[in-house]
Amino acid sequence: MSALPSLQESSLMVSLRAAFAALPKPAAAQLHAWEQFNQIGLPGLRDEQWKYTQLHRLYSQSFALKTRTPVITADSSISISEVPSGITHTGHAFEALVYALSEKKILIAIPDDAVIKDPVVIDFNSTSTESSINATRILIKAGKNSSVTIIERYRGTNESAHLNIGVTDIFLGENAQINHCRLQNENTNDSHVAIINVNVEKNACYINHHFNLGGSVARADINVKLEGAEAYAELNGLQFAAGNQVHDTHSRVEHCVPRANSSETYHGIADERGQVVFNGKVLVHKHAIGTDAQQSSRNLLLSPRAEIDTKPELEIYADDVKCSHGATIGQLDNTALFYLRSRGIGEQAARALLTLAFADAVINKLPLAALREELTQQVHSRFGNKVEHAS
């Protein structure tokens, strides 16, 4: 019986060690994080949190370290700066790796009471022709009573394989509002591992729109802590895996205080040999009475070789709470398909139309018409020219 090559000796690990060793002058925080990363180790196939993610695809590749600097467009009242990373503790291997590899983090600070009309756009584009690993840390602080829309866009415009890993920390002060749109459309050789940590204070409202469309293996961990009464978090997501893509979202919503609410809507589409994974954890702490948490995971399986793994996980320690969850996996409605075809629409186009309708339920939640248009186009383009664009 031949064992898998040890993770320690995998190509990825070897190239990471080389990359870290080549850092000219790692800060103390980076050294600390590197140690932590080595202690945690890369997740193995038996690791419950990673068992569907197909990380072995990454482990057989090697990457050189590059910095992918995002282009940020923002209103002039928002301060953008680079600050030292600082020491942070984590139990998450890739989070530790991001900390180890990034000397600085980008701080985006929205002043108190600022209501920002134009969205902050953070644009990542992998243009490097080398197989490279990019690590990015972003910290967003929304002052009290502020309101802003943030668009993180990830694209890859060449065919080289990149491993893009990033941590985004978000703090919402009292009564702040953030509409956070995360559009992952990397090239299909790229891999993407993202960790988003959000703290929501009293009366604040955090809305996340997560579109997992591109990449080969694309994983996102979205961790939200509701830390003030009447705080609200809404997580919406669309994952669409075709070819041999793997799209994996793990959400974790923690209700730490009484009377905070959360709502999650995740749609997954798996076509060809694609795989969509959703794991949604809701944790209601002992004192969080009056919590209202809803979660829905709906999935469309379009091909016999595609795979969908969805798992709601509720952990409730408080009485007097309202928590609901639902997970479905289905196929396109045959009656609807026949109906469209009986009106002259070809089978492929009819399938595409119904799939788009399923995706639209999430796209339509986006806050800006231009974004809705952009995402509709992107999902359309997945079907080639089978559907003309709806006017």
Partner 1 sequence: MLTIKDVHVNVGDKEILKGISLQVNAGEVHAVMGPNGSGKSTLSQVLAGRDGYTVTKGTITFNGKNLLDWSPEERAREGVFLALQYPVEIPGVNNVYLLKAGLNAIRKHRGQPELDAFEFLTLVKDKMKLMQMDESFLSRGVNEGFSGGEKKRNEILQMAVLQPQLALLDETDSGLDIDALRIVANGVNSLRSKERAVVMVTHYQRLLDYITPDYVHVLAGGKIVKSGDKSLALELEKRGYDWIKAENVAA
Name the residues that contact partner 1, by CB under 8 A. 333-336, 338-347, 349-350, 353-354, 356-358, 360-361, 387-388, 390-391
Q: Are 194 and 166 in contact (CB under 8 A)?
A: yes
Measured distance CA(375)–CA(365) in Å, rounded: 11
Q: Are 59 and 42 in contact (CB under 8 A)?
A: yes
- Smallest CA-to-CA distance from 230 within 256, 264, 266 is with 256
Angle, in degrees to the nearest 10, between helices 93-101 and 28-40 = 150
Q: Is 92 helix (H, G, I), strand (E, B) or coil?
A: coil
The least distance separating partner 1 from the CB of residue 355, rounded to whole angstroms, comes to 10
Alpha-carbon Rg of the chain, whole angstroms? 21
Read off the tokens for 348. 């492929």
The least distance separating partner 1 from the CB of residue 306, rounded to whole angstroms, comes to 21
Is the CB of 2 or the CB of 335 nearer to partner 1? 335
117 burial type by CB count under 10 A (0-12 exposed, 13-18 middle, 19+ buried): exposed
Angle, in degrees to the nearest 10, between helices 369-381 and 347-363 = 150
The least distance separating partner 1 from the CB of residue 276, rounded to whole angstroms, comes to 19
User: What residues contact 55, with CB distance under 8 A and at least 6 apart?
Assistant: 42, 43, 45, 217
The least distance separating partner 1 from the CB of residue 171, rounded to whole angstroms, comes to 36
Is the CB of 110 or the CB of 238 nearer to partner 1? 238
Measured distance CA(240)–CA(48) in Å, rounded: 23
The least distance separating partner 1 from the CB of residue 228, rounded to whole angstroms, comes to 36
The CA distances from residue 182 to 127, 235, 247, 325, in Å, are 19, 11, 14, 23
Give kind and range of the element (H or E) at residue 188: none
Measured distance CA(312)–CA(292) in Å, rounded: 16
The least distance separating partner 1 from the CB of residue 99, rounded to whole angstroms, comes to 42
Is the CB of 115 or the CB of 357 nearer to partner 1? 357
Is the CB of 63 or the CB of 266 nearer to partner 1? 266
Is the CB of 317 or the CB of 338 nearer to partner 1? 338
Read off the tokens for 95. 């989070």
Read off the tokens for 59. 């482990």
Is the CB of 114 or the CB of 337 nearer to partner 1? 337
Is the CB of 133 or the CB of 300 nearer to partner 1? 300
Measured distance CA(35)–CA(29) in Å, rounded: 10
Is the CB of 46 or the CB of 389 nearer to partner 1? 389
The least distance separating partner 1 from the CB of residue 153, rounded to whole angstroms, comes to 25
The least distance separating partner 1 from the CB of residue 340, rounded to whole angstroms, comes to 7
Residue 81, strand partner residues: 107
Residue 294's identity, in one-letter code, is Q
Is the CB of 25 or the CB of 343 nearer to partner 1? 343
Give kind and range of the element (H or E) at residue 45: none
The least distance separating partner 1 from the CB of residue 211, rounded to whole angstroms, comes to 17
Question: How many residues would you count in the chain?
Answer: 391
The least distance separating partner 1 from the CB of residue 354, rounded to whole angstroms, comes to 7
Measured distance CA(273)–CA(191) in Å, rounded: 17
Is the CB of 1 or the CB of 390 nearer to partner 1? 390
